[in-house]
Amino acid sequence: MRLTAIEEGHLRNGMPGTIGIAAVFPGGPFDLAQVRSRVCDRWGGLDRMSLVLQPPAGPAALSGHRWSAARPFDPAAHITATDQDLESLLTDGVSHRLPVERPLWRLLVTRQAVVLLAHHALLDGRSLETLFRLLMDDAVPPGPLGQGAAHPLARGRQRPAVGPAAVCGELRRIGVLGQPVPPGPRGEPRPSVAVVELDPQVMRTARRQPVDGRGSTLNELLLSTYAGALRACHGPLRSWPKGPTPFYATVPVDLRTRDNAQHLGNGVTALRMALPVDLESPVARLRACQDEVAAFDGRCDAHRAILPALQAIARTVPWLAGVMAKRLARPELTTSLCTAFKWRDNPSHLHGRPLARIVPLPQLSPPGTANLCLVHTADAYTLTVVSHLRGGDAGTIGEAVERELKAVAASEPF
């Protein structure tokens, strides 16, 4: 089975491509045999989890990779225990490719967490969330996930017609150059990961801003506070290396519908938006981000119109998928991936132990970039920063975002 152009791009962009999700459970260590049994029971019938990557049959420029159906996965090879602490485990995971001789995922069991790592060509972030939900004690038995379920870009219910102006506008947004995160004073770029546990009361108060509006979503709050963190760390854009050139964040948006919500694979697109780094007020930055996010539905319709044709062309000429992926991976184009979601199944338990926190792991991008993901689980809010800047910059960014969240929460109406 040939890979889609998006999957091919994830393999050819020059980066490790590993993403992940961790679930934290208070208490003693898990019984590894129990976890392996649960995974075999819940994931064993999912074709996607047994796909093995096959190299191009001919010249890589003319033929793409393929998925082949392997024998059922070996739980002893895929599911292992580790004494490594969570943050260093995530740093190692995001910095290295998974071995290609078996399906491109692994599950690591620590004393208080279960960590799923996967190559982005095999699974996207929503797929990781879907798989983790299946492991919980009260989960609905697995159905035909990724096995005949409609692909997110398949023709579904009638959608509004998208005019040429909207398509051209979105193509311009995809290709316009911005600027990367300014380099630090010393040191070579290297991967770093920071996990920040945010104050729930601060988050609840911040989400009620603007006080004269509807409140804010997690995505809007993350985007605006990241803009504030960049301003606090590097000043307004005029003081950056490229002056007033905009700084763009990229927001993954799921294209799945209610009919294919559990499709496993890759079903997201990416919408770019200029962050309001130059606005001084935390609430002004939040309002600006809300205005941008409000246009996402219409922009997604443009992507639904664009993507099938782009994927068809790139799949016909596999090297083009690589060229497109490497171009989009440049820090001037994809500087910061910012995403947020809420774990809605509360309470959740694994072998009787309550889920306390979900820790996301966005992928590592090229030097000059930082990716952020915020998750709300029950009463816990967790921010993960994956940076490819100077050592320790992930922690610096995470602390700056945390300060900005407190500033939003303390803001007065204006």
> Which position has the token pair 């009361």?
201
pLDDT value, residue 160:
59
pLDDT value, residue 304:
86
pLDDT digits (tens, 9 = 90+) for 17-58: 999 999 999 988 899 999 999 999 999 889 999 999 998 887
Rounded to an integer, the average pLDDT of 258-283 is: 92
Q: How many Å apart are CA 141 and CA 370, to the nearest integer? A: 37
Higher pLDDT, 411 or 70: 411
Pick from 121-125, 193-197, 330-334: least confident: 330-334
Of 67, 60, 53, 63, which Cα lies nearest the Cα of 100? 53
Query: What dihedral do alpha carbons 90, 92, 95, 96 form, nearest 10°?
Result: -120
Sign (positive or negative) of CA dihedral 9, 12, 15, 18? positive
Higher pLDDT, 175 or 95: 95
Q: What are phi and psi of 268, to 5 degrees?
A: -120, 155
pLDDT digits (tens, 9 = 90+) for 107-146: 999 999 999 999 999 999 999 999 999 999 988 765 555 5
How many Cα neighbours within 13 Å face the side chain of 249?
26
Say which residues have a Cβ less than 8 Å from residue 259's Cβ, sequence separation at least 6: 150, 156, 157
At 333, is the pLDDT very low, low, confident or very high (cuts 50, 70, 90)? Answer: confident
Full-model pTM: 0.92
Q: How many Å apart are CA 312 and CA 324, to the nearest integer? A: 13
Question: What whole-number percentage of the chain has pLDDT above 70?
Answer: 93
Question: What whole-number percentage of the chain has pLDDT above 90?
Answer: 62
What is the rounded end-to-end Cα distance, in angstroms, of the chain?
Answer: 57
pLDDT digits (tens, 9 = 90+) for 354-380: 999 999 999 999 999 999 999 999 899
Higher pLDDT, 60 or 411: 411
